[in-house]
Amino acid sequence: MHFKHPEILYFLFLLLVPILVHLFQLRRFKTEYFTNVRFLKKLTIESRKSSKIKKRLLLATRLLLLSALILAFAQPYFEAKDHKNANNELYIILDNSFSMQAKGNRGELLKRAVQELLEETPENSTFSLLTNEENFWNTDIKSIQNDLQNLKYSAIPFDLDAQLAKINTRKSIYKKDIILISDGVGTQQKQDNKEEIYFIKPEAEQKNNAAIDSVFINQTLDNFYEITVSIKGFGEDLAPLPIALYNQNKLIAKTIVTLDTKKKNVNFTIPKQEFNGYVTINDKGLPYDNEYFFSIAKNKKTAVLSIGEPQKSGFLSRIYTSNEFNITTSDLRLLDYNSIEKQTTIVLNELPEIPQALQTTLQAFVNKGGNLVVIPSESTTVASTNSFLKSIGNIQMGASDNSNPKQITKINFDHPLFSGVFESKITNFQYPKAEKSFVVKSTYPSILSYEDQTPFLTSIPKSTGTLFLFSAPLNTKNSNFQQSPLIVPVFYKMGINNKNALLYAATIGNNTPFWVNTTLTKEAVLTVKGKNEQFIPIQQMLDNKVKVTFADLPKQSGNYTIFNKNEALESISFNYARTESDLSKVTTDFGENFESIDSIRSVFNTLQTNRTDQQIWKWFLIFALTFLLIEMAIIRFLK
């Protein structure tokens, strides 16, 4: 037993007072003799004995009364088993990612967790609350009641390590208790945490879910686009889904799709014109991935410039057709340098040497978002070419290898250049070859490779433009690549690569730049506006273009428009990442080192039980009142 105020125990010396009073009350009886006093003598002896018993009982009750009062004021208690952590700081991590939209036995997981926090958190408890996007430091439940009731689902995936890092930056002399509320979907913990973590894991009743994964243009016809909607199913026995296509909230088409496979593609044909709409499905799973917004811009022709001998550029004009491209061919001696900045893609077609002035201009061109394709000549000056390549990225050309022809046998299907080109990986096709080639050393992955694994085509991806480098001349004397089926998709995608795609459907948080063809005044800025949200993106003026990046904006998916003051320039669309669509994607070892708790109430009850000292001063106060009543009863009833 411990005492809160042990100094009060010195008052126990006051117990001497009733003892002294008792001793001074002892009186000597004076004997008086009467005739025939035998009966009186007997009565006196009995009265004297009764008086002694009464006084001793009163002394005992008074001593016990005074002792109980002194002990009550000293506030005795039994120490809690976890009393050392009684002053720990409390942190609550609440996962409000989209997977928490799933329904448990009492409704949506997030809404139920919020309701429990509001109902079960003690009003006098001080804590800090962290969600995916917001932090509330050193607060109480009343102060953040409205914030919790209005808490929205976050497009930012839940990252436990990031949340723990925020907590660990809060320096304190006290330890930390952490309550984690998360379903664990798509979440991993890479770092070990020394603090106590109480893990509350809400469970979804059913984990079936369907999601619109992507929308892309499957093929371009004369007057129509055939767009493909890719739908993924997670779980078993998914019901048929209604799917609808809208253009500016106007219904264009509607059908039913049966998910008899994990992934299903649905095709729609729409007029070949500007489109600003979305696709929607209706299932009983998560709502956030049931809509997919996309925009199709006006069909603008892509400007391509081929620098080299015109007779070697014939194959380019057959790929870059006039309905989609404006292709210009120029001999190096007649090149108009002022036309370079107006191009989207430039092809250096077998130039023996790249003049220094052209190197400087092309470097600026790539840095401003242009695509550069370098096809070497058999007589290429390696030193001059390497000097130019080094200024753009870590890639170099070695000496020419003329020993034996090489076959091009490997396709990097995962390279962005082949995105949407192949429905399946091709393992058996007619391999093109090259008679003479240069040895290319690069730290970047190859796009096409020879049978000896050396690069035939590689690239230097930059945050703006891209440089593509072939290791061999492509003229028909040196290679049959021009007759290969690969040449069309390769050059077509290089021509439009890193340019705003015809169909634009960005993922929120994927910081891919968007290029706006406009010129801004010194203090002007571009603004992005949507139905419920508008913001100013990060932007960089580069001559007649503006490079726009969006970071983590916008917060809501939807269709947006880029404005220069009141002038609408481009239509763009944003979608939430589909990283949490699979509700079964829970890491098996996530939370295994945490203490599992079934509810908020259990956490607070556990903390209070383990860390609250057992106060017993009330019992001593009750004892004091009891002894007082006993004393009064002795005085009144005992003769």
Tell me the per-residue pLDDT of 304-348, one tens digit each, with 9 for 90 and over: 999 998 888 889 989 998 878 899 999 988 888 888 888 889 999
Tell me the per-residue pLDDT of 72-131, one tens digit each, with 9 for 90 and over: 787 775 565 655 656 788 899 999 999 999 988 888 999 999 999 999 898 888 999 999
Distance of CA 116 to the CA centre of its chain: 24
- pLDDT value for 251: 95
- pLDDT value for 115: 93
- pLDDT value for 594: 84
* Contacts of range 122-130, beta carbons closer than 8 Å, 24 or more positions apart: 122/604, 125/90, 125/604, 126/90, 127/89, 127/90, 127/91, 127/92, 128/89, 128/90, 128/91, 128/92, 128/167, 128/170, 129/91, 129/92, 129/94, 130/91, 130/92, 130/93, 130/94, 130/163, 130/166, 130/167
- pLDDT value for 421: 63
Domain locations in the chain as residue ranges: 2-79+615-637, 86-206+590-612, 302-496
- pLDDT value for 429: 63
Element (H, E) at 455: strand 455-461
Q: Comparing 86-206+590-612 with 302-496, is the CATH topology the same?
A: yes
* The token pair that represents 202 in the structure block: 């809400």
Which parts of the chain have pLDDT scores under 70?
2-4, 25-50, 77-86, 188-195, 419-429, 463-464, 497-501, 587-591, 608-615, 638-639
Strand partners, 396: 441
Sign of the C-alpha dihedral, residues 505, 508, 511, 516? Answer: positive
The CATH class that applies to domain 302-496 reads alpha beta
Strand partners, 351: 376
- pLDDT value for 40: 52
Cα separation of 4 and 613, whole Å? 11
Cα separation of 296 and 415, whole Å? 24
C-alpha closest to that of 299 among 271, 277, 329: 271
- pLDDT value for 254: 94
Q: Which fold has domain 86-206+590-612?
A: Rossmann fold (3.40.50)
Element (H, E) at 77: strand 76-78
**CA–CA distance from 585 to each of 105, 111, 344, 588 (Å)?**
20, 21, 41, 9
